[in-house]
Structure 1
């Protein structure tokens, strides 16, 4: 299929080549042979009258023109993906749609795990591809690489719509035999203990809990920092460490680990989890179904 002399299949190859900056890795991603991708690159160079990728030792560097093309290419392919995925109806029982979602392991545990149990019987052909949080999650949504992201309200992009999914309380969690849980937990207990903290992203963007604690000026001794919510329980058992954790996750973790949890000994705001989708997907019946199914799976009330 050609458009103004360009084989449109080459646009997909160009997108992958600019992402990987490597012919061999692009061939793997495209499920093509290396000679076929080399030939595609040669045709792209001829059409655009530009080198596209320039050899620099063992690396390949995009040309200035290729870098200018990349955002336009992302927008074009995202629009095509939206057009192909769009349908006036969505029938979960018959659909074989793949939903690409950005979500933390907390959301995966408390929302997507119960949803998947329902999908086994209600929508057996529907697939989920869950991408963990990173510094580029919002850009991936904007580029159309993700259908939706589930994040606290504070982490939303201003460029795309979002909807309330559920509200969440936070609690203090620790080993069940930690003596501080034998009485009412005090601010002094909280401050004196070592803590496990969660930071997300290469740039150490604070989780909701960490951000709120810093905003409130709550001082504590952080002994361990991790990038995953679900590894925290294993770092508490057999120690005097504490952690601030989502109540839903604390309940889930305490069923599998010898943990106890208690209310925070100071005021702490509720966290609002929202689902954000690309502005071109506002009327997408599949996205509407996904939002409703997630609300049913997690319960649209605080820790309900």
Structure 2
């Protein structure tokens, strides 16, 4: 037999508790009716229903006052406390106003997604939302389903993966698309497919993955490349390339951002491959928060400005 939750509440119209609380506080049917914007006859009818439901007179008249019964006196503190708590908790979420907000948004990132987004984003938000705060966390894997589900992050900025379609509870935005290029030290003068295949390579592996999309594409073409160094961080990579014979493939946007910092040269990738894609992931249970929705809209606007 199924266990029925809250049997006492299921047989009671909870609106009647507001009637009880108002009469108890005012000791008056008329004043309670005025507070609740009801007629006195409607309130008296509601009180009659509550008396029947609780099997107690609850209030009796002494002159002009409605005095509580012993049972009503026992109930009153609990009902008042419950109503206060419900009123506080059920207050509608305030509208998000970016210029006034001090919310903290937690975003899962990789080195590349942070480089793509946050310099331009923070430049804009210092004027539009100066109080808005961010906590950036390294994306442990893409698309960070577990972290999004647990509410540990509000958004995840990740790469497109074949597993994305398996996660129906995720919402995703195709945020950024770019072509792959290759960087080398400035002494190199050309980069053919043969040059690429005979060279040694530095590869960024943010999740310590065994193979990247370029290796999969080369394998389908019947080729492979010699990987001399793998690193999870992009911070040191361009400086290593600048002082070695290593090649490194990365999106053009990032490569051009790195030129002022490191002595590198950019070449087209000498074989065809699908564009690099960055997606914005959010979970359906948390992605509707005002700050999160606003940030997703802001990021979409920003993508239109920086997409090549």
Q: TM-score, with normalisation over the residues of structure 2?
A: 0.63
Which structure has the bigger radius of gyration?
2
Q: Is the 8 A contact 1:171 1:244 kept in 2?
A: yes
Structure 2 residue aligned with 1:249: 254
Match of 2:96 among 82, 86, 90: 90
Structure 1 residue aligned with 2:59: none
Q: TM-score, with normalisation over the residues of structure 1?
A: 0.64
Q: Which segment is superposed worse, 259-268 or 277-286?
A: 277-286
Q: Which segment is superposed worse, 227-236 or 155-164?
A: 155-164
Q: Does 1:162 align with 2:168?
A: no
Inter-CA distance 243–122: structure 2 relative to 1 (3 Å threshold):
same
Structure 2 residue aligned with 1:197: 203
Inter-CA distance 114–248: structure 2 relative to 1 (3 Å threshold):
same
Inter-CA distance 291–258: structure 2 relative to 1 (3 Å threshold):
same
Inter-CA distance 93–255: structure 2 relative to 1 (3 Å threshold):
same
Distance 1:162 1:276 in 2: 5
Q: Is the 8 A contact 1:200 1:206 kept in 2?
A: no
Match of 1:239 among 205, 228, 244: 244
Distance 1:288 1:215 in 2: 40
Inter-CA distance 294–210: structure 2 relative to 1 (3 Å threshold):
farther
Distance 2:277 2:172 in 1: 12
SS of the residue corresponding to residue 249 of structure 2 reads: strand
- Counting matched residue pairs gives 216
Inter-CA distance 124–207: structure 2 relative to 1 (3 Å threshold):
farther
SS of the residue corresponding to residue 112 of structure 2 reads: helix
Map 1:107-122 to 2 at 5 A. Answer: 107-122=113-128
| Superposed displacement of residue 217, structure 1 | 4.8
How far does the alpha carbon of each residue in 1:207-236 deviate from its partner, in whole angstroms, 9 at most, with x for none? Answer: 554554555554111111000123210110
Structure 2: gaps spanning 5 or more residues: 1-5, 7-88
Q: Is the 8 A contact 1:152 1:272 kept in 2?
A: yes
Map 1:56-67 to 2 at 5 A. Answer: none
SS of the residue corresponding to residue 228 of structure 1 reads: coil
Distance 1:171 1:199 in 2: 17
| Superposed displacement of residue 296, structure 1 | 3.3
Q: Give the RMSD, CA atoms, in angstroms.
A: 2.6
Q: Which segment is superposed worse, 143-152 or 215-224?
A: 215-224
Structure 1: gaps spanning 5 or more residues: 5-82
| Superposed displacement of residue 194, structure 1 | 0.9
Distance 1:125 1:216 in 2: 51
Structure 1 residue aligned with 2:156: 149
Inter-CA distance 294–231: structure 2 relative to 1 (3 Å threshold):
farther
| Superposed displacement of residue 174, structure 1 | 0.9
Structure 2 residue aligned with 1:126: 132
